[in-house]
Amino acid sequence: MKRLLVALVLFCAAAFSQSSAPTTVVVKAGRLLDVKTGQYQSNVAIVIESGIIKGVGPAGNASVPAGAKVVDLGNATVLPGLVDAHTHLTYDVGDVGLKGLTISPEREALVGAANARITLMAGFTTVRNVGASAFADVALRDSINDGHVPGPRMLVSGPALSISGGHADENLLPWEDHKYADGVADGVDAVQHKVRDNIKYGADVIKFMATGGVMSKGDNPQASQYTLEEMKVIVSEAHRLGRKVAAHAHGVQGIMWATEAGVDSIEHGTYINDEAIALMKQHGTYLVPTVYLTEWLPQNADRIGIPPYVRAKMDVVLPLLRKNIQHAFASGVKVAFGTDAAVYQHGLNGHEFASYVDLGMTPLQAIQTSTVAAPDLLGWADKIGSLAPGKYGDLIAVSGDPLKDITELQRVKFVMKGGEIYKDEFHKQ
């Protein structure tokens, strides 16, 4: 009954009024960025049929089918839709500590509907959602796919796996409540079952907590949580069932054990060192570094009510994350774009690009973490990440040149997903 109620509320409260996209859409742009080469093509036409790109070429040579919708973006710069490989759409900024205990899964689904729209309007047409209570992210993904709410394409994990008392468990209630979070599993048999359970209920990807975290009580970000044996079972079971694996990992031992176990990505990587970097490069493991939160969170911690036990950890962890991630960038580890949005406000995802540039990347390298690396990490490189025939008609546009000013990606003016326009500030009445 609860599921039916949530579905009805989502449909009624968040249904959007956009009309169905025409079968064929032709987008004309003053310049298009080839995100792989960093070269611009001038005066380009992108032909999209039934949401899929059919052709990209000079606008002067484009044949516009009868009845097609033509969208002329003038001198705007067009890029593929952006990808964020680390979001939490069903959570809101400040939902930590005791406040989090007041939020039901039904409320999380509604919060997710709002945040999905905000994220799409920021230019992110695909996200990987790595952690949500009670499979609220599965419900959100399915509602977006069914057209009930606007939002990005989503790959979702459901509840993240955690040890008892670890990051992602419920550590704020007294003993007599006997409360454990949805993803808690201890021991080889239990983690194997939990992976299968998450997949049963709709998970596209498996997320587990290899170490403690920052936004939780009673755990240590440096300490590994699962044993290497448990991690190997999580990864092997997920991979056998066709799911990739993301490991939340701050401490170096957790980073190395998760990498050795075969995870596809390390999230955060605060205490990463040369030994861990070498191992990740050997295994081809992606780093998803979530850097902008190191700037936003200290400035806003008091305003959003960060508890003292979180503040004590973040004051240590955040400066180290910036320092060590900068070293990891310079050392050539593979990097996929991720923000941890929900730790800060949804819609600010584009600020992550400038943070990468501040730590040593070129603007093109920063853009490639989202448009080349993240699609590869997600296993969707054949669907998203570039504007080429056969891929989804997902694109964004900005006024200026993001290769000269990366902050242009904080001011996305036009968003199209699957050939349908969701945002257009170039043609406001």
Where in the sequence numbering do the catalytic residues fall?
Answer: 207, 340
Q: Cα(259)–Cα(279) distance, rounded to whole angstroms? A: 7
Kindly give, in sequence order, each residue whose CB lies less than 8 Å from that of residue 407, ignoring residues fewer than 6 positions away: 353, 354
State how far the Cα of 418 lies from the Cα of 127, in Å rounded to an integer.
Answer: 15
Vertex 171, ends 205 and 271: CA angle to 5°? 60
Torsions phi, psi for 120 (to 5 deg): -60, -40
What does the DSSP 8-state code read for residue 385?
A: S
Residue with tokens 């704020």: 172
Query: Do residues 409 and 73 touch, judged by C-beta distance below 8 A?
Result: no
Helix (H, G, I), strand (E, B) or coil at 46: strand
How far apart are the C-alpha atoms of 412 and 124, rounded to whole Å?
Answer: 10
The residue to which tokens 């001198």 are assigned: 75
**Considering only CA atoms, which of 236, 329, 241 is closest in space to residue 280?**
329
Radius of gyration from C-alpha coordinates of the chain:
21
Q: Identify whether the C-beta of residue 57 lies closer than 8 Å to the C-beta of residue 34.
A: no
The number of residues making up the chain comes to 429
- Short-list 161, 157, 92, 96, CA closest to 127: 157
Report the Cα–Cα distance between both ends of the chain, in Å, rounded.
Answer: 44
Amino acid (one-letter) located at 209: M
